[in-house]
Amino acid sequence: MMRRGARWLAAHDRVRAWGLLAPGTLWLLAFFVLPVAIMGAYSAMERGLYGGVEPGFSLASYARFFDPLYLRILGRTLWLAALTTLLCVVIGYPVAYAIAGAGRWKHALLFLVVLPFWTSFLVRTYAIMFLLRDSGLVNSALLALGLIDEPLTLLYTPGAVLAGLVYGYLPFMVLPVYASLEKLDPALLEAAESLGARPVAGFLRVTLPLSLPGLVAGSLLVFIPSLGAFLTPDLLGGARQVMIGNLVQQQFGAGRDWPFGSAASFILMALVLAVVYVFLHRGAGALPEEVE
């Protein structure tokens, strides 16, 4: 029976393909496409008195977003996400490079990179608060060393948000960059050296361009969730470092303005799509190089 079923499936490629795709497709339809469609509809409706929406059509929520207050939040969000990505590249690339060349320590080091995932992000973010608050470890140490006379304001600053975001998303940069460096054939670098390339030239001409796909993937994996972050700015940034994620959360919560929350979400989504398009376009355009 089993074998006959297996043979029938093997002979019916389409049935098999749909069978494999169905669970994921249904899941995404129910929990992604449908909610997004609902949000899209909400964003163009009127606000209900106690949350929810009233029927009708209005683009007022979108128009409202162009208030300087919200544009500043958008600007801050973009700036923090870009800076987070840049710092993750600067910190993460050397780490990935070192791990890829670490021989038998590779697996142990990769394990360390993903180790933070074993505890909840919330707990880890609280731990950073303990580190950065006025009576926290950093200030205590600096005071004890006599380097400062009174505690520095570390928490609830853009720097604190940035530190939290970089910390949280660094593994998403390290892992794809590592994957692309790991695939690199060591003979390519030897070929470059035997053709007269010093190590720096070998890195710039061979290693870096060939790890670009990993770098692009890592940058997307860091930049996109940074754009939508709300936990980190909420806990480490406080009321003055609001990002778009916090704005959306407020509108659906205390603000009770579901259409505006939905509109802000859609604007965020449009931004993400634009960034992905530009990244993939330019990332793909970088290879292969052509001569004139």
Partner 1 sequence: MSQGATLTPAVRFTRVCKRFGETVAVDGVSFDVAGGEFFSILGPSGCGKTTTLRMLAGFERPDAGEILLHGERIDELPPWERPLAMVFQSYALFPHLSVARNVAFGLERRKLPRAEIDARVRSALELVRLDPGVFGRRSPRQLSGGQRQRVALARALVLEPPVLLLDEPLGALDRKLRKEMQAELRALNRELGTTFVYVTHDQEEALAMSDRVAVMAEARIEQVGTPAEVYERPRTAFVAGFLGDANVFEADSGRTVVVRPERMRLLRPGSAVPDGLSSRQGEIRDLVYLGDREHAIVGVGPVDFRVALRDPDRFEGETWRRGDAVVVAWRPDDAHPLEGA
Q: Does 205 bind partner 1 (CB under 8 A)?
A: yes
Angle at 176 between CA 227 and CA 26, to 5 degrees: 65
Residue 200 is a binding residue for partner 1 (CB under 8 A): no
The enclosing H or E element of 259 equals helix 258-285
Bridge pairing between strands 46-47 and 53-54:
antiparallel
Tell me if 177 contacts partner 1 by CB under 8 A.
no
Could you give the angle at the alpha carbon of 149 between the alpha carbons of 146 and 150, nearest 5°? Answer: 130
Q: How many CB atoms lie within 10 A of CB 124?
A: 15
Q: Hunting for tokens 């409202």 — which residue is that? A: 64
The answer to whether residue 198 forms part of the interface with partner 1 (CB under 8 A) is yes
Both tokens assigned to 228: 């939508």
Among 163, 192, 221, 268, binds partner 1 (CB under 8 A): 192
Neighbouring CB atoms inside 10 A of 262's CB total: 25
Residue 4 or 198: the one with the smaller Cβ distance to partner 1 is: 198
| Residue closer to partner 1 (CB basis): 206 or 247 | 206
Nearer Cβ to partner 1, position 88 or 100? Answer: 100
Q: Both tokens of residue 83? A: 């800076």
User: Does position 108 bind partner 1 by CB under 8 A?
Assistant: no
Whichever of 1 and 200 has its CB closer to partner 1, that residue is: 200
Contact yes or no for 169/81 (Cβ under 8 A): no
The 136-175 site mask, x for binding partner 1 (CB under 8 A), equals ----------------------------------------
CB of 181 to partner 1, least distance (A): 14
Task: Provide the minimum distance between the beta carbon of 283 and partner 1 in the complex, in angstroms, as a whole number.
Answer: 12
Is residue 282 part of the contact set for partner 1 (CB under 8 A)?
no
Question: Which residue matches tokens 């704005």?
Answer: 247
Residues found near partner 1 in the complex (CB under 8 A) = 185, 187-188, 190-198, 201, 205-206, 209-210, 287-291
